[in-house]
Structure 1
């Protein structure tokens, strides 16, 4: 028998949450088969079997918090009673057999209703996830009435949600004989919850984001300064060069490469904004690892473009595209997220005209990009033109960055963007 343990996942991660077991007790697995998914503060990882055998026992259930090195299950040699297959039979053949004979699934005996409906047997039942049981209790739904989409018949939260939209949930019996308050009388706090609501548990990543954002506001003397950029020159360069750029580099010429180059040029001029505070010391970083904020399904992540000062426009665009793709497919590695020195976030992709970004601590500066909008601009005392303008915002830690330094940094970014040729020199 061997133990299934939570592996080390980086210096900054000490625990995780069991997201989903992909194998049931008694099932046969081969070496390398994925046993479960583990959710951490930064990335989700898959834990695989280190040897072939049978999953004898699941010690930590879905939704439970586990620490690095903790035993969460046991794997033994032999044939699993739940799968009905020998230990030497490849898992792929079992899956293929299930696909090629759907009628066998249709006539298989369903789990006993008593086992499905039991709410107190959390340690033994594998028929529903904790989240599904909780949601079913809240909505007054019997689990044996829920149709599972899982091949092994396990009920998940999505199955309960789907069931509740297809059929009205029965009204749960009242737990108190006290007369109900009138619907018009609000409870203390101004809400009665009499109307339909849905309660969702924060994902581990969302909870961590919330915690870090609050910490950033509580620990840093954060201030934001604003400016605006005339994007005419950049848009002209993109219009003239985008086809040849795409043909040569097999990647589009976007705005992020210009902004990354401009930020690097400004950071070289104002090195304190590329630093961090360590106790009573200021650590000035002589490298430029620029974090690019990406909105993923489970929340904001900030993968890092390494050594951006050494990369060309095409290399920056490819790095950003690759990191964004990983973020949206939930395949970022810890190394993709660690060690950034400055962050760029682009709320303009969602239509934001102006915002005050929050620091990505321990960094002391973050640049916010916004929507490009045609606005009338005075060219001289007698002439007005409609120009593509963008508001930009720099949030900074006032503990080590003076207001004048922050303003000059943002003016430098503006000047570099409005003269793209200078990026080849300054960036």
Structure 2
């Protein structure tokens, strides 16, 4: 008997919430089959079977909070009777066929595989060759692979016509909508996801523990827009990725962090830990809430490498396939509310980091060029929130001015790498 144990989930994560079991007691599983999905503070994790056998028990159900190292079920060895079962099976159909009509004979002939209901899953599942990713896709589309034979590909699963049978049953569940508030008006009550609770707690913690202050500036995006217009096509043909804004902002932030290293630090007790690396977090809005995957060693990456890295991380975030390693250890964060139309906002620190840069919508505004001339220019407001405990106001202002100057002269970024 092998226990199903909640594995180590990563640094600082000690518990998780079971979102869904994909098996039930009595099901036969193979080593590597996905048993359940666990939601943690940062990512969802699939727990797979360490051994083949029959699910003997499930001790904790959907929605339960479980601890790392806790036994939440068990897998027993497949019963020896399950394998020999097919041997006596031919004898029964032959006797039945002598007295039965052809239709009944056909029914009896198909009976042996279906008769041992618990064991039937074993031959079928062992005959199916599908990766965990393909099995997950099949579950999401409501497709039963137990009757399939041979190797199954993701294309075959997508091409199958038997999709949303299960998903359609779930929307019928919002019973909480029937509840009412104290004044008798209808309300809907639903439980926060673990990730939403974690986001809420961390944002409140940041405001309670850090001496958070925000300084603002604006940047003229004319030079970047002109450079992108001239170089965009050649850049794509060479690198097979679009030249976006985030690579410019990432490079400008790295340049400013090198000049003002306290914004690349964190507080540890009575110590200031100044980081000698530049792992830049890029805030991404996903279905379950905001996540901040990290672009590693951004100072060593070219523009194309940064764009590819950000694109890959954003896809993983929206597909809910980020690994814990994608989210840990950032030294500074950039968040872009401009993609949603935000003109100006105050970003909240991603603790324990002491700095976060907020980008906003590019808006054409009249700008004074000199005492006599006005021009319409594409302008963006920038916001830098910082921890005033270790970053002085003058340092924060000069950091933001440096970012502004680098963005308004993007050739510097290209020439300096």
Whether these two folds match at TM > 0.5 is yes
Query: How big is each residue's C-alpha offset from its partner over 1:251-276, in whole Å with a ceiling of 9 and x where there is no partner?
Result: 00000000000000000000011011
SS at match of 1:386: strand
SS of residue paired to 1:75:
strand
Alignment of 1:268-347 (within 5 A): 268-347=258-337
Q: Distance in 2 between matches of 1:391 and 1:92?
A: 59
Match of 1:52? 52
Matched, 1:95 2:144: yes
Specify every segment of 5 or more residues in structure 1 that has no aligned partner in the other structure, as ranges. 101-147, 173-186
Q: CA shift at 1:95, angstroms?
A: 3.4
Alpha-carbon distance in 2 for matches of 1:337, 1:322: 13
Contact 1:265 1:426 in 2 (8 A): no
Written as runs of structure 1 = structure 2, the 5 A alignment for 1:10-409 is 10-78=10-78, 83-85=118-120, 87-90=122-125, 93=128, 95-96=144-145, 149-150=165-166, 157-161=170-174, 192-409=182-399
The structure with the greater share of residues assigned to helix is: 2
TM (normalized to structure 2)? 0.80
Alpha-carbon separation, structure 1, partners of 2:32 and 2:353: 39
Q: Does the C-alpha gap of structure 1 residues 260 and 164 become closer, same or farther in structure 2, counting only changes over 3 Å? A: closer
2:401 counterpart (394, 404, 411) = 411
1:123-146 Cα shifts (integer Å, max 9, x gaps) = xxxxxxxxxxxxxxxxxxxxxxxx
Report if aligned partners of 2:27, 2:121 keep a CA contact under 8 Å in 1: no
Deviation at residue 84 of structure 1 after TM alignment: 4.7
Paired residues, number: 354
Return the alpha-carbon distance in structure 1 between the equivalents of residues 283 and 411 of structure 2.
26
The Cα offsets for residues 276-326 of structure 1, whole Å up to 9 and x where unpaired, read as: 111111111111000000000000000000000000000000000000000
Kindly indicate whether residue 2 of structure 2 is the aligned counterpart of residue 5 of structure 1: no
- Quick check: 2:124–2:147 contact (8 Å CA) kept in 1? no
Structure 2 distance, partners of 1:4, 1:97, is 22
Query: How far apart, CA to CA, are the structure 2 residues paired with 1:416 and 1:391?
Result: 15
Alpha carbons of structure 1 residues 15 and 82: separation in structure 2 relative to 1, 3 Å: farther
Shift of 1:52: 1.2
Shift of 1:374: 0.4
- Distance (whole Å) between structure 2 residues aligned to residue 325 and residue 215 of structure 1: 29
Report the CA distance between 1:67 and its aligned residue. 0.6
Unaligned runs of 5+ in 2: 83-115, 129-142, 150-163
Q: Aligned-pair distance for 1:425?
A: 4.8
Between the aligned partners of 1:164 and 1:149, the Cα distance in structure 2 is 23
